[in-house]
């Protein structure tokens, strides 16, 4: 077994890994960027080393610095967590060449599944069904038209080298073909340095179901159940639960095919087979060759520490148990508490946490690195915490999630907590009828209803309360919502912001200027000087906190000036474009 492991990541996943390492008697090495000098994962580790500046390229994606720290610290293995280098076969090979053990699958397996077209070809050989579509790159617009004739509309154009909704464009009409293809290629190149895109039939509202795979280096391949990850915004997950509410026919077929797929590439670690499920049918989507954000719900129902198993497998140990020895119990739900404003199209909201209180009690788990004074940086993703609940039944798990979201307080910036609370009462969640296209329209309706004046509820989560004061009358405490403010201009102590009026469909603006609503990197400009645009047109795309944000014109007119360039950084409330007078 290893004596010291470098954890090449940050935040809650770094802490998650370090806790298991400590239980196993293995020393941990943390790395940190400039904004993370006082981060919790730095204090929890046995040793910590400075990587570099704020941006991922200067820090957590600095391969040379990571390998140098591994050498200096005397680490004998490296765990990448998820994101950053977790699915980078080239970095895995460099780590191995440097004498480190890679805690993850062998690089050839990462390569096999890292490119979606190669993965589809591998699944075809393993007789695993995938969404009808091509297995060759789309060369031009004519090839897209041929794909439309073959597979019909709507058609998804997808980046072969990526995921997370980046490089994914939907062709719903013939008029969409040229712009969708051009945008998909640009995004694929910008995000993954790989402009290759392919086409597959777009399924409007399927279930996104994952199968957890666990395999060792001795030929044992097992599954650790399934989970439903369909509640997504911008093709990124917000709510996950295990087990998935699907038919037994689809479940058994998916389990058999998933293990067949893992054997086909000689898989030897923890991994996830992602599928789309429609009724009794399922289709392979992709394989993630790493630990997943939502691994927590699987651990809760199976009682298996998946990070521990990853480490054991990497050290060459056999799993030591068979499929029939894995038992599933109860139901688990994970909600992602993100620094985003759901009422503003999930706009990223970096900022500093000024109040923080976690829920507790039976069946509640918090995976987080958050604390009072922590700044959620625009340089990284928007996650504040993962709230996980377990209960003997799904109905009880929903009630527990509702109770937990009502107790959870994150102050100083908007979060997804109010929306998670609302989902607990949503009919589509109660009967598990939701699919991948269900969350965003639900959020639009919720934002509109939340904007209407209402009587405060005792059950409303603390994170949604607006300005209020506490008043004691005859020994009983009352919370009173303040509408017009206190006399003499004084204000009450302020809790986290309430959901804002309705979700904004246009960019922030200041007269003739179109302003950036957040700090970020300009990924795309869709308007040039002299172009005529119509109110609501997308004029730019900004990446902030690992999310793409479409910036729309607030009025019609002709573009006079452009103040940014593709690849450059723009600050919040600074002009992107200016209309000509």
Domain residue spans of the chain: 4-103, 132-201, 224-446, 448-489, 508-579
Q: How far apart are the C-alpha atoms of 576 and 578, rounded to whole Å?
A: 7
- Residue 161: the pLDDT is 82
- Residue 125: the pLDDT is 87
Please list the pLDDT of the chain residue by residue as tens digits (581 residues).
999 999 999 999 999 999 999 999 999 999 999 999 999 999 999 999 999 998 898 999 999 999 999 999 999 999 999 999 999 999 999 999 999 999 999 999 999 998 888 888 888 888 899 988 988 899 999 999 999 999 999 999 999 887 767 778 899 999 999 988 988 898 888 777 789 999 999 998 999 999 999 999 999 999 999 999 999 998 899 999 999 999 999 999 999 999 999 999 999 999 999 999 999 999 999 999 999 999 999 999 999 999 999 999 999 999 999 999 999 999 999 999 999 999 988 989 999 999 999 999 999 999 999 999 999 988 888 999 999 999 999 999 999 999 999 999 999 999 999 999 999 999 999 999 999 999 999 999 999 987 654 433 444 444 443 456 778 787 767 777 665 555 555 444 333 344 443 334 445 566 789 998 877 888 788 899 999 999 988 899 887 766 677 888 989 999 999 999 888 888 878 899 999 97
CA distances from 301 to 58, 211, 312, 401, 517 (A): 39, 13, 21, 16, 41
- Residue 577: the pLDDT is 92
Q: Give the 3-state DSSP-derived string for 248-276, with helices as H, strands as E and coil as C.
A: HHHHHHHHHHHHHHHHHCCCCCEEEEEEE
Question: With respect to CATH, is domain 224-446 assigned 3.30.1120.80?
Answer: no
Q: CB neighbours (10 Å) of residue 393?
A: 10
- The CATH H-level (homologous superfamily) assignment of domain 132-201 is ATP-grasp fold, A domain (3.30.1490.20)
> Nearest-CA neighbor of 29 among 5, 56, 64?
5
Interstrand relation of 538-544 and 547-552 (parallel, antiparallel or unpaired): antiparallel
- Residue 487: the pLDDT is 53
Q: How far apart are the C-alpha atoms of 128 and 287, rounded to whole Å?
A: 12
Q: CB neighbours (10 Å) of residue 98?
A: 13
> Nearest-CA neighbor of 202 among 273, 278, 143, 280?
278
- Residue 477: the pLDDT is 77
> Nearest-CA neighbor of 107 among 309, 266, 295?
266
- Residue 501: the pLDDT is 37
- Residue 508: the pLDDT is 58
Interstrand relation of 508-510 and 513-515 (parallel, antiparallel or unpaired): antiparallel
Whether the domain at 132-201 and the domain at 508-579 fall into the same CATH topology: no
- Residue 251: the pLDDT is 97
- Residue 135: the pLDDT is 84
- Residue 465: the pLDDT is 39
Residue located via tokens 């009409």 = 173
CATH topology (fold) of 508-579: OB fold (Dihydrolipoamide Acetyltransferase, E2P) (2.40.50)
CA distances from 361 to 355, 370, 391 (A): 20, 19, 12
Residues in the chain: 581
Beta bridge partners of 52: 33
CATH topology (fold) of 4-103: Rossmann fold (3.40.50)
Report the predicted TM-score, pTM, of the whole model to 2 decimal places.
0.85
């Amino acid at each position: 077994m290893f004596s010291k492991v470098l954890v090449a990541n940050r935040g809650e996943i770094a802490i998650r890994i370090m806790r298991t390492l400590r239980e196993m008697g293995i020393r941990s090495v943390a790395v940190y960027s400039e904004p993370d000098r006082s981060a919790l994962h730095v204090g929890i580790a046995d040793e910590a080393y400075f990587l570099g500046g704020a941006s991922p390229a200067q820090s957590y994606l600095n391969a040379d610095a990571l390998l140098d720290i591994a050498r200096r610290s005397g680490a004998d293995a490296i765990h990448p967590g998820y994101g950053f280098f977790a699915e980078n076969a080239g970095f895995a090979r460099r780590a191995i060449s440097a004498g480190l053990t890679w805690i993850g699958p062998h690089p050839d397996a990462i390569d096999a599944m890292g490119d979606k077209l190669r993965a589809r070809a591998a699944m075809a050989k393993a007789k695993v069904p995938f969404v009808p579509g091509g297995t060759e790159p789309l060369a031009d617009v004519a090839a897209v038209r041929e794909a439309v004739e073959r597979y019909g509309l709507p058609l998804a154009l997808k980046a072969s080298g990526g995921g997370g909704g980046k490089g994914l464009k939907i062709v719903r009409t013939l008029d969409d073909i040229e712009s969708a293809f051009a945008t998909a290629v640009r995004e694929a190149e910008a995000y993954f340095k790989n402009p290759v895109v392919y086409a597959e039939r777009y399924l409007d509202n399927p279930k996104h179901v994952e199968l957890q795979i666990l395999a060792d280096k001795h030929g044992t391949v097992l599954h650790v159940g399934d989970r439903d990850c369909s509640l997504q915004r911008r093709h990124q997950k917000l709510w996950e639960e295990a087990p998935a509410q699907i038919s037994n026919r689809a479940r058994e077929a998916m389990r058999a095919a998933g293990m067949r797929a893992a054997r086909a590439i000689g898989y030897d670690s923890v991994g996830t087979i992602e599928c789309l499920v429609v009724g009794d049918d399922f289709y392979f989507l992709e394989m993630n060759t790493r630990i997943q954000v939502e691994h927590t719900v699987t651990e809760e129902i199976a009682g298996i520490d998946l990070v521990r198993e990853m480490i054991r497998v990497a050290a060459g140990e056999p799993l030591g148990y068979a499929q029939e020895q894995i038992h599933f119990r109860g139901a688990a739900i994970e909600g992602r508490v993100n620094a985003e404003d759901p009422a503003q199209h999930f706009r990223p909201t970096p900022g500093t946490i000024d109040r923080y209180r976690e829920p507790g009690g039976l069946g509640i788990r918090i995976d987080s690195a958050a604390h009072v004074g922590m700044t959620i940086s625009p340089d990284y993703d928007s996650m504040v915490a993962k709230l996980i609940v377990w209960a003997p039944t799904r109905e009880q798990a929903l009630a527990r999630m509702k109770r937990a979201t009502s107790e959870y307080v994150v102050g100083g910036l908007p979060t997804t907590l109010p929306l998670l609370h609302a989902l607990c009462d949503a009919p589509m969640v109660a009967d598990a009828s939701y699919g991948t296209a269900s969350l965003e329209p639900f959020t639009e309706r919720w934002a509109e209803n939340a904007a209407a004046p209402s009587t405060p509820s005792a059950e409303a989560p603390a994170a949604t309360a607006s300005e209020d004061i506490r008043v004691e009358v005859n020994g009983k405490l009352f919370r009173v919502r303040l509408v017009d403010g206190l006399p003499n201009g004084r204000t009450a102590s302020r809790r986290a912001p309430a959901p804002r009026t309705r979700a904004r469909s246009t960019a922030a603006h200041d007269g003739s200027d179109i302003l950036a609503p957040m700090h970020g990197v300009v990924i795309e400009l869709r308007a040039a000087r002299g172009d005529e645009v119509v109110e609501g047109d997308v004029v730019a795309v900004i990446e902030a906190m690992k999310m793409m944000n479409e910036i729309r014109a607030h009025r019609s007119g002709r573009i006079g000036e452009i103040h940014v360039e593709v690849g450059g950084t723009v600050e919040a409330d600074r002009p992107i474009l200016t209309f000509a007078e």
